[in-house]
């Protein structure tokens, strides 16, 4: 597949022409050939575009760095989080509450696919697999995403609650990983943190509006927070892998991100007059995504994502 | 008279969007969009009008806040400069050839 | 002005559906009657005519004939609807795209289409119709959109065929619209054409990749081309001699080239591209006619076009249903945001009052 896999994508510039040659055709009499030159009005040319290096795949990780087994497993966790969340947001397009929001959720989804591609590419270097090998040819127990990301879209409030938790967590995570001793992870984090910062802003804006809008929207927002909160704890669980990696400065201990996360939640909830769930609905899901145990939502999501690729083993797209 | 399109009847009002493409350039009108409030308007504008690095700064203005000149008064408004060629440097021909003028 | 008593040419039955591509065709509120008795034009009419004659631009607050305004509202809103409905056949494959790169490209493309719909709704809005009204017309089935989006997308190769053929035809139609006489429309089209330049290319590349792949992939590509070729040619609208609305649109500099001119031009682009790919265009009679300096081609089957246009296409109901559901299910969100804005404004007012 194209230049990406062949190493760094050179910064290319290309002239886009296709069928635009008649952009400066003249005011026509119907008989005039479409290819005549120069109209009275501002001729339109399609700008030369200098293509930026694609973040994904080889863009950042193409320097040839190969991840060791631990770093690969860690990148897999992060990559799967991003991939599964992107897949979920992709389902919103054409179904958002307003057209402007189709565009906004699309932007966030695109950012996340970018993160997933970079991280999975790096994870794959340890075992000679491509980003697509990892995305399309692993089964459910081999996925390493946390449960939060595989929770269904629900209504818009549920998606926003999930976005709030996800983006506040990812913002702290990538912020900390900017100084990772693993240069590839640091580079991916540095790019991603800026994008996640915007995702965080998007989620916060909507939490405020839904919680402070109508009675109906407030009710829905409270339900969504209740339904989402059981999946918060898992994000901050430490285990042997992250402890080893954190000792080398490659990873950050998830537990250390929690205070900043909680402070951010406090600030948003204070303004939105929301509370963390308490009492009988304050569940905490056991988690287990990092070991490949998943909720019943992941299987169908993967089945849909992988169906076409798996019908054509070895095919190029 | 506000900008065309604002009817004041929609749930989300209309906003006019201006984008500065680069430092050193003015904000230029690029179009409009709908948003419930200014905070969301500027975010929607970012998502809608700068998907391909088109801008470094965005203004959003409620369409109803813009006052426009009356199109029917075109003559009165815009014909006055005609006949005032002396406002243009090329009017002054005698200094041609003289340096630094 | 009715060269034929063809019911297709009547207002509601007008071959309007082909929004993205053929909005020019679709737009007349009533077929223009150029045969009105000559009379002295009013000063503003004369000014309008002068601007059109000079190929200048009409701007929102200018005086314009009622029929011109209606024509544009209809054409631009149909074009916008086509972008929005056109998201659906492709979004169908976002979750199943066979590689992450393709997933990203497809998501970006569908998202662009939402953006293009928004640019066009904005342009239409300058003519005195709200987006809410236009959206109501769409979900109540009162508005038309390009009927090509009423075809389903059963395979991945359809993503290639839509990009190559449907977007290709749309670009042929749209590029001249960049010079449409109505300023906001022309400006929206410039933006759209710039952004769309990648859409056709990515479609071509999807098909090319398939044609270089396994036998199953090749079959998939050819099948999609077979299904989309004729509907794409229909996007240019009926033959010129059956397209009475075109004349007024061309006189008003909304439309710049005739349906058949554009169709020829499009086929001329496709032939060499199909050769590069190795796909066969499904028309046994397609060949260059040196004498006519044009392509000979089979008769287009307009009955199918009429059927789809009349709401009997494969996916008409589904397209409207999904748009309606999204709109209705999003109502509480839109209301929440509007209510929040109202409360915030109140608070600001109260705060400034307290200070004063």
- Are residues A39 and C55, on separate chains, in Cβ contact within 8 Å? yes
Taking alpha carbons only, the member of C151, C150, C162, C148 closest to residue C201 is C162
Q: What is the pLDDT of residue B94?
A: 84
Cα distance from N-terminal residue to C-terminal residue, chain C = 67
pLDDT at C252 over 90: no
Q: What is the pLDDT of residue B71?
A: 67
Q: Report helix, strand or coil for B57.
A: strand
Q: A99 touching C, CB under 8 A?
A: yes
- Are residues A216 and C336, on separate chains, in Cβ contact within 8 Å? yes
- Are residues C127 and B9, on separate chains, in Cβ contact within 8 Å? no
pLDDT at A10 over 60: no
Q: Which of A19-33, A155-169, A171-185 has the lowest mean pLDDT?
A: A19-33
Residue in B with minimal Cα distance to A199: B43
Rounded Cα distance, B41 and C10, in Å: 41
When the pLDDT of each residue in chain C is averaged and rounded to a whole number, the result is 87
Contacts of C72 (CB under 8 A, 6+ apart): C27, C124, C127, C182, C185, C254
For residue A151, report the phi and psi dihedrals to the nearest 5 degrees. -70, 140
Instruction: Report the percent of chain A where pLDDT is more than 90.
Output: 77
pLDDT at A19 over 90: no
Cα distance from N-terminal residue to C-terminal residue, chain B = 43
Q: A309 touching C, CB under 8 A?
A: yes
**What are B's interface residues with C at a Cβ cutoff of 8 A?**
1, 3-5, 7, 9-12, 14, 30-34, 36-37, 40, 48, 51-52, 68, 71
pLDDT digits (tens, 9 = 90+) for A200-216: 999 999 999 999 999 99
Report chain B residues whose CB lies below 8 A from the CB of A103.
44, 47-48, 51
Contacts of A195 (CB under 8 A, 6+ apart): A111, A114, A115
Q: B41 touching A, CB under 8 A?
A: no
pLDDT digits (tens, 9 = 90+) for B41-100: 999 999 999 988 889 999 999 999 998 887 666 667 787 787 788 888 888 888 888 888
- Are residues B5 and C59, on separate chains, in Cβ contact within 8 Å? no
Q: What is the pLDDT of residue A111?
A: 97
Count Cβ atoms within 10 A of the Cβ of residue B23 and give its class: 0-12 exposed, 13-18 middle, 19 or more buried: exposed
Q: B12 touching A, CB under 8 A?
A: yes
pLDDT at A31 over 50: no
C93 pLDDT tier (thresholds 50, 70, 90): very high
> What is this structure's pTM?
0.85
Q: Report helix, strand or coil for C182.
A: strand
**What are C's interface residues with B at a Cβ cutoff of 8 A?**
59-63, 111-112, 115, 118-119, 122-123, 125-128, 130-132, 187-188, 191, 195, 334-335, 337-338, 340-341, 344-345
Task: Find the mean pLDDT for residues A119-139.
Answer: 97
B2 pLDDT tier (thresholds 50, 70, 90): low
Count of helices and strands (H, E) across chain A: 12, 2
pLDDT at A120 over 50: yes
Residue C156 is classified by DSSP as T
pLDDT at C57 over 50: yes
Q: What is the pLDDT of residue A22?
A: 38
Q: What is the pLDDT of residue A33?
A: 36
Helices marked H in C311-330 — which ranges? Answer: 316-329
Buried b (16+ CB within 10 A) or exposed e, A209-231: bbbbbbebbbebbbbbbbbbbbb
Rounded Cα distance, A175 and A196, in Å: 10
Task: Find the mean pLDDT for residues C152-156.
Answer: 97
Q: Locate tokens 């203005």: which residue?
A: B61
């Amino acid at each position: 597949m194209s230049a990406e896999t062949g190493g760094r994508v050179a910064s290319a510039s290309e002239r886009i022409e296709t069928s635009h040659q008649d952009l400066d055709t003249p005011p026509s009499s119907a008989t005039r050939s479409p290819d005549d030159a120069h109209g009275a009005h501002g001729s339109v040319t399609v700008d030369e575009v200098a293509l930026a290096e694609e973040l994904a795949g080889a863009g950042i990780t193409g320097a040839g760095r190969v991840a060791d087994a631990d770093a690969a497993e860690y990148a897999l966790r992060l990559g799967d989080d991003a991939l599964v969340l992107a897949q979920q947001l992709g389902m919103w397009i054409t179904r958002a509450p307003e057209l402007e929001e189709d565009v906004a959720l699309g932007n966030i989804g695109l950012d996340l696919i970018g993160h997933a591609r970079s991280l999975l590419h790096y994870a794959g270097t340890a075992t000679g697999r491509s980003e697509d090998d990892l995305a399309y040819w692993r089964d459910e127990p081999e996925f390493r995403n946390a449960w939060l990301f595989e929770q269904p879209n629900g209504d818009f409030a549920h998606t926003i609650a999930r976005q709030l938790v996800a983006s506040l967590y990812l913002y702290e995570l990538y912020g900390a990983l900017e100084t990772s001793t693993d240069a590839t992870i640091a580079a991916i984090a540095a790019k991603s943190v800026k994008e996640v910062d915007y995702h965080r802003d998007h989620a916060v804006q909507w939490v405020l509006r839904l919680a402070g809008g109508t009675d109906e929207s407030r009710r829905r927002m409270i339900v969504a927070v209740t339904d989402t909160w059981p999946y918060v704890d898992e994000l901050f669980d430490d285990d042997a892998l992250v402890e080893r990696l954190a000792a080398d400065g490659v990873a950050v201990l998830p537990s250390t991100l929690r205070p900043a996360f909680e402070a951010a939640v406090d600030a948003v909830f204070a303004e939105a007059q929301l509370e963390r769930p308490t009492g009988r609905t304050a569940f905490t899901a056991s988690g287990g995504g990092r070991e490949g145990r998943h909720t019943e939502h992941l299987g169908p999501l993967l089945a849909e994502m992988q169906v076409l690729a798996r019908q054509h083993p070895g095919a190029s797209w | 008279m506000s900008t065309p399109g604002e009817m004041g009847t929609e749930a989300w009002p209309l906003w006019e969007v201006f984008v500065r493409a680069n430092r050193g350039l003015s904000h230029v009108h690029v179009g409009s969009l709908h948003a419930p409030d200014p905070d969301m308007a500027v975010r929607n504008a970012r998502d809608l009008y700068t998907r391909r690095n088109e801008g470094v700064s965005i203004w959003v203005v409620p369409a109803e806040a813009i006052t426009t000149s009356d199109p029917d008064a075109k003559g009165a408004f815009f014909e006055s400069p005609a006949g005032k060629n002396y406002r243009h440097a090329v009017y002054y021909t005698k200094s041609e050839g003289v340096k630094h003028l | 002005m009715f060269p034929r008593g063809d019911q297709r040419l009547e207002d509601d039955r007008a071959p309007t559906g082909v929004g993205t591509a053929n909005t020019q065709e679709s737009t007349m509120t009533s077929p223009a009657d150029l045969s009105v008795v000559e009379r002295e034009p009013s000063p503003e009419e004369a000014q309008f005519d002068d601007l059109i004659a000079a190929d200048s631009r009409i701007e929102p607050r200018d005086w314009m004939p009622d029929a011109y305004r209606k024509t544009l509202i209809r054409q631009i809103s149909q074009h916008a609807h086509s972008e929005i409905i056109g998201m659906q056949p492709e979004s169908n494959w976002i979750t199943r795209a066979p590689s992450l790169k393709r997933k990203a490209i497809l998501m970006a493309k569908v998202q662009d289409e939402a953006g293009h719909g928004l640019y066009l709704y904005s342009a239409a809005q300058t003519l005195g119709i709200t987006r809410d009204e236009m959206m109501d017309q769409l979900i109540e089935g009162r508005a038309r959109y390009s009927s090509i989006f009423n075809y389903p997308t059963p395979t991945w190769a359809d993503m290639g065929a839509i990009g190559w053929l449907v977007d290709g035809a749309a670009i042929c139609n749209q590029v001249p619209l960049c010079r449409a006489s109505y300023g906001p429309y022309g400006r929206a089209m410039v933006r759209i054409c710039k952004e769309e330049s990648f859409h056709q290319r990515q479609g071509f590349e999807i098909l090319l990749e398939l044609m270089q792949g396994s036998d199953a992939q090749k079959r998939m590509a050819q099948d999609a081309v077979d299904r989309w070729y004729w509907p794409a040619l229909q996007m240019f609208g009926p033959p010129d001699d059956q397209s009475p609305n075109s004349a007024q649109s061309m006189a008003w500099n909304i439309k710049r080239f005739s349906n058949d001119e554009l169709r020829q031009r499009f086929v001329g682009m496709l032939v060499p591209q199909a050769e590069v790919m190795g796909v066969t265009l499904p028309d046994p009679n397609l060949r260059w006619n040196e004498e006519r300096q044009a392509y000979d081609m089979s008769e287009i089957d307009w009955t199918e076009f009429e059927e789809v246009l009349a709401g009997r296409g494969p996916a008409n109901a589904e397209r409207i249903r999904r748009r309606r559901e999204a709109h209705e299910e999003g109502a509480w969100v839109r209301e929440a945001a509007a209510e929040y804005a109202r409360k915030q404004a109140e608070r600001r007012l109260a705060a400034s009052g307290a200070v004063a």
